[in-house]
């Protein structure tokens, strides 16, 4: 009996040593960071900035791979099938837990097929209204919509895009009757609001700022739960309409395939905690309209669950209406 106990203790000791060795030697070769969008967009640009800082902390090259398609499902399916050795990381977006409502079928489970490492960044939306309407506040906008049901149009950059979900949530929670118009991407939406084809849209800051500077749009509200430090005079949708828990933010999180060695996972988490202290990176992201938001694994999981709970039923509703 004593011999068996000694063998068991020895085995645990060996495995513990192996785990420590894995963490000490990792990473020994370049790491792939999968981005689920095409090159050049705001997510791609901001994630590349983050990758540069993370590779400095890990002392190893991070190679960015863009795997766009099917509203990020192509990338999610790909990552879920990779080895959980720490050499494939994923800059997953808020769509990860939502795609099962948007796609006929997905080949992954957002909560079972990934190791959650940390939060990465947030991109809030601004509700921008064409300056031709002469509207400057949410009260004025809501009044006009309610007095003219069905007259006003809200643009979105594609079915299931986060600004589409934000618009659907806003209209539903605010009991507002406006027409949603879908476009293929953010650029056509900007052209539509400039050309007078739509009256308003939920846009990311980097998309909205040039139009605001040119006097083409007014900022009515932000979709975060707190006002943005860069625009303290712009209220939140929640406060300006008296809504409970309204938040519609495009966020990204750092994930890996499920089953990743805990020692390696913790090494990456520790590196991300150091990245979070980088004020230069924070400032550069802020200039892009992006907020560095390195949350711990549990907080990130809760955020994923919250997104599904809040937006899942809304997506089901507009899917039925199509």
pLDDT at 150: 96
pTM > 0.95: no
Q: Identify whether the C-beta of residue 238 lies closer than 8 Å to the C-beta of residue 247.
A: yes
Which option is the CATH number for 124-241: 3.30.450.20, 1.10.357.10, 3.40.1650.10, 3.40.190.10? Answer: 3.40.190.10
Each of the 322 residues of the chain gets a pLDDT tens digit; together they read 555 554 545 554 555 445 555 557 999 999 999 999 999 888 999 999 999 999 999 999 999 999 999 889 999 999 999 999 999 999 999 999 999 999 888 999 999 999 999 999 999 999 999 999 999 999 999 999 999 999 999 999 988 889 999 999 999 999 999 999 999 888 899 999 999 999 999 999 888 999 999 999 999 999 999 998 888 999 999 999 998 888 899 999 999 999 999 999 999 999 999 999 999 999 999 988 899 999 999 999 999 999 999 999 999 888 877 6
Give SS3 for 137. coil
- Does the bond joining 306 to the residue before it have cis omega, within 30 degrees of 0? no
Distances (CA, A) of 68 to 72, 74, 182, 228: 6, 6, 20, 30
Task: Give every CB contact of residue 27 below 8 A, 6+ residues apart in sequence.
Answer: 58, 59, 60, 86, 87
Q: Phi/psi of residue 252, each to 5°?
A: -125, 150
CATH class of the region 2-123+249-321: alpha beta
Domain-wise residue ranges, the chain: 2-123+249-321, 124-241
């Amino acid at each position: 009996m004593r011999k068996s106990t000694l063998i068991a203790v020895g085995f645990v000791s060996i495995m513990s040593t192996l785990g420590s060795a894995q963490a000490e030697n990792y990473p020994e070769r370049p790491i792939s960071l999968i981005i689920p969008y095409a090159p050049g967009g705001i997510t791609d640009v901001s994630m590349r900035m983050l990758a540069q800082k993370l590779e400095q902390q890990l002392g190893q090259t991070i190679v960015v791979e863009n795997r766009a398609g099917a509203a990020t499902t192509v990338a999610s399916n790909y990552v879920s099938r990779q080895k959980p050795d720490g050499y494939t990381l994923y800059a997953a977006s808020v769509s990860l837990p939502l795609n099962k409502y948007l796609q006929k079928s997905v080949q992954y489970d957002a909560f079972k097929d990934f190791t959650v490492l940390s939060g990465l960044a947030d991109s809030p939306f601004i509700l921008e209204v064409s300056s031709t309407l002469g509207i400057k506040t949410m009260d004025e906008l809501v009044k006009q919509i309610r007095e003219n049901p069905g007259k006003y149009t809200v643009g979105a950059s594609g079915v299931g895009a986060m600004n589409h979900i934000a618009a659907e949530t806003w209209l539903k929670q605010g009991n507002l009757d406006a027409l949603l118009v879908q476009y293929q991407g953010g650029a056509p939406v900007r052209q539509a609001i400039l050309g007078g084809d739509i009256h308003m849209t939920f846009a990311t800051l980097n998309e909205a700022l040039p139009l605001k500077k040119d006097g083409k749009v007014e900022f009515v509200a932000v979709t975060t739960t707190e006002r943005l430090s860069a625009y303290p005079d712009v209220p939140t949708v929640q406060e300006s309409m008296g809504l409970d828990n309204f938040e519609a933010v495009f966020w990204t999180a750092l994930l890996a395939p499920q089953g990743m060695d805990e020692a390696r996972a913790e090494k990456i988490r520790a590196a991300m905690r150091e990245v979070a202290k980088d004020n230069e990176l924070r400032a550069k992201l802020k200039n892009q309209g992006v907020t560095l938001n390195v949350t711990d694994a549990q907080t990130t999981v809760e955020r994923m669950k919250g997104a599904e709970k809040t937006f899942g039923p809304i997506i089901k509703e507009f899917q039925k209406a199509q």
